[in-house]
Amino acid sequence: MAKKKVQEEHDVPVIMERPVTIDGFFGHARQVALLGRLLEKGMVSSSLLFSGPASVGKASLAFRLAAALQCKAPLPWACGRCPSCLKAQKGVHPDIRFITLEVNEDTGKERKEILVRQAREDIIGHLSLPPYEGRKLIFIVDPAEAMNAETQNALLKSLEEPPAYAQFILVSANAANLLPTVRSRCQEVTFGLVPQKTLQTIALAAGLEGAEAKEAISSSAGAPGVIFSGSWREAAKRRERLLALLQFGLQAEQYPKLAPMMEELAKEPPRAVLAEALRITAEARRALSLKGGGPNQQMSKAAKARGEHSLSRIAERLAEAPAHIERNVNPRLLLERVFLAP
């Protein structure tokens, strides 16, 4: 049952098609070229790790790579027309499997970890049998860093010596949280933020124009997924609030203004808040290192108000935040600890 619910919430529902071809995938030209060459030579490593910031397109490219590995046409990337591609596109290819966070049946909430049971039942349990119809049996694990230590350890052997037909693609926005033993067994493909010019093309493709496009691009902060999903409207608010925390967090007299912002942020998905907090902190540090403070006025102001030492302390505290989130530390308290301390 739990599995079915997750399917509905996380995987693309069967009725909604998911693109498999490489055209329509924006940005990351270097990574696309690298993977294209590996596909052409049949040299895609059986254990891949896609790492980099959230919502930049890692999962989307992982899926396109999976479709390409199954595609019947002799092209490096998926043709989008053969029976295999059509199944992948509809989300019903039996040999492309997703391992993600389940919904806890007791609480109705998404679990915070990928459990060892999932690794045993959904991965290891299938590895002894070859693919049903595809060339490969593909497991996309996303978010991979949500695998707890037990889950990761259970997968070590499979990652190191998989059967010839197995393909793992771990997708992670926080690869530092993976066990070094897992990370070292994978070929890592790193992703960065998408540049402004590409974001403009993406906004256009998402049907946005003028002021809306501008706002979507700015709140996406280099993460196209934010534009495509429409979550930029919430993201814009989230970013605004986090920027205020960054800029005024050390000024005690601003607390009455910041408190309701933290209340609102605490209601949001913790990982989305954390990802944005990491982004703006990195941007602020960049702004500080640039002469004249960089193009974004508000960001420069926030960066100056904090200074390099405080920004690096915030980055350290944010790096520890996932562990606190896992231990169910009150999100409101966590925000105070991260932003209201020097």
Q: Starting at the edge strand that comes first in sequence, how are the strands of the sheet with 96-99 ordered?
A: 96-99, 137-141, 166-172, 47-51, 187-190
Residue 79 binds Zn ion (CB under 5 A) = yes
Considering the complex, state which of residue 21 and residue 247 has its C-beta at the smaller distance from Zn ion. 21
- Which range in 80-88, 238-246, 291-299, 323-331 contacts Zn ion by CB under 5 A? 80-88
- Determine, following the binding rule CB under 5 A, whether residue 86 of this chain makes contact with Zn ion: no
* DSSP letters for 109-157: SBPSSB-HHHIIIIIIHHHTS--SSSSSEEEEETTGGGB-HHHHHHHHH
Q: How far is the CB of 80 from Zn ion (least distance, A)?
A: 6
Q: Considering only 78-86, 254-262, 301-309, 324-332, which stretch makes contact with Zn ion by CB under 5 A? A: 78-86
One of 39, 66, 68, 85 touching Zn ion (CB under 5 A): 85
Single out the segment in contact with Zn ion by CB under 5 A; choices: 68-76, 163-171, 200-208, 249-257.
68-76
CA gap 45, 229 in Å, rounded: 30
Q: Which is nearer to Zn ion, 38 or 73 (CB)?
A: 73
Peptide bond into 295 cis (omega under 30): no
Q: Which of 49, 54, 68, 71 binds Zn ion (CB under 5 A)?
A: 71
In terms of CB distance, is 79 or 315 closer to Zn ion? 79
73 contributes a contact to Zn ion by CB under 5 A: yes
DSSP code at position 12: P
Q: What is the DSSP letter of 175?
A: G
* Cα separation, 215 vs 217, whole angstroms: 5
3-state SS class at 89 = helix
75 touching Zn ion, by CB under 5 A: no
Candidate ranges 48-56, 70-78, 177-185, 226-234; the one touching Zn ion (CB under 5 A): 70-78
Q: Considering all CA atoms of the chain, what is the largest pairwise distance in Å, rounded to the nearest integer?
A: 65
Q: What DSSP character marks residue 48?
A: E
Is the N-terminal amide bond of 224 cis, ω within 30° of 0? no
CB of 202 to Zn ion, least distance (A): 25
Q: Does 66 bind Zn ion (CB under 5 A)?
A: no
| Closest distance of CB 35 from Zn ion, Å | 16
Q: Which residues bind Zn ion (CB under 5 A)?
A: 71, 73, 78-79, 82, 85
